[in-house]
Amino acid sequence: MPSVMLPKAALPTLKTPKGLIPTVQEPSKRDVIIFSDFDGTIFMQDTGHILFDHHGCGVTKRQELDEEIKTGARSFRAVSEDMWGSLNVRFEDGFEVMKEKLEIDPDFDEFHKYCISNGIPFNVISAGLKPILRRVLDVFIGETQSAHIEIVANDAKISPDGTEWKPIWRHDNELGHDKAASIQEYKTIASSESEDGSIPLIVFVGDGVSDLPAAREADVLFARRGLRLEEYCIENKISYIPFDTFADIQKDLVRLIQEDQESTKGAGKPAQYNPRANFWRRASSKKAVPTLGSIQASNTLSTGKKLHHTEPVFTPQPTLVS
């Protein structure tokens, strides 16, 4: 398995201890690498919005600021600085409301254990603040398991008394964190192929339009059902697989890995291959309960999923079939 060659300050090397969790599936020869959005994807709510609504500008003002982003009146970075700047709460106190209000995807914990046991790196790419995202993962899935997830996000300066919350942006532009630019940074220093010459399968999971710059570059795209990313894929004829929970993703991923093994024996290009995913390949080449406050039975979700496929917007585009 190839080693990771990433900027130490940006992406520490992923380490997956063997034997931590019993293997549930024979590993495929092909490397699989997963990149995922955080807010609205792993968690149902937006971590920042919860803080702003309860300890900052409030719901009404936050919605007004959100509208400025949607209409293009002001940049994401400028509006976000206003939102974070409105906070006046100690980090620990602010985290209490997140523990109460946040809901994690009910099947994410099991899915991530599946990734660990099968040597599949799982990486978070987010426009949020890394200290918050790391703390949320530490609490909801435990520090040991959280340590297996690499987070690429903005840093932050938070004063001890909570009077200052200042994002430290990854990029000096209107986005603050340009996900595509992050990948370009890694592109020049990491290998694009596995040591045996096979090409990793790149998977992206998301929910919103902001995920599109990254989602277009994946071999396989999972879009949360009923949200804007799915709508955008339909409108723009982009191939994707809808999901309700990460259990759906696990089921489809197992199927895709098996189909790839049967058709390629894990060698060369994956059966679902998108040449635009190459910069993701360069970025990385290594290999529950929904709330803390209550235990609620999950609703039974439909299991018979088909890929929603339309004519691709680039060539070649992976044709995913059930």
Catalytic residue positions? 37, 39
The rounded distance, in Å, linking the Cα atoms of 168 and 129 is 8
Q: Which ranges of 88-227 would DSSP assign to H, the alpha helix?
A: 91-101, 108-117, 130-141, 143-146, 179-187, 212-215
Looking at the chain, the number of H-run helices and the number of E-run strands are 12, 7
The rounded distance, in Å, linking the Cα atoms of 320 and 204 is 14
How would you list the strands of the sheet with 149-158, edge to edge? Answer: 165-168, 149-158, 122-129, 32-36, 201-206, 220-224, 241-243
First-last CA distance in the chain: 29
Q: Report phi then psi at 243, rounded to 5.
A: -145, 150
Give residue 64's region: left, alpha or beta (phi > 0; psi -120 to 50). Answer: alpha
Helix (H/G/I), strand (E/B), else coil: 60: helix
- Cα Dmax for the chain: 58
Cα-Cα-Cα-Cα dihedral of 25, 26, 29, 35, to 10°?
20
Question: CA of 314: how far to CAs of 122, 264, 319, in Å?
Answer: 26, 23, 12
Strands (E), the chain: 32-36, 122-129, 149-158, 165-168, 201-206, 220-224, 241-243
**How do strand 201-206 and strand 32-36 relate by DSSP bridges?**
parallel
Confirm if 194 and 270 have CB atoms less than 8 A apart.
Answer: no
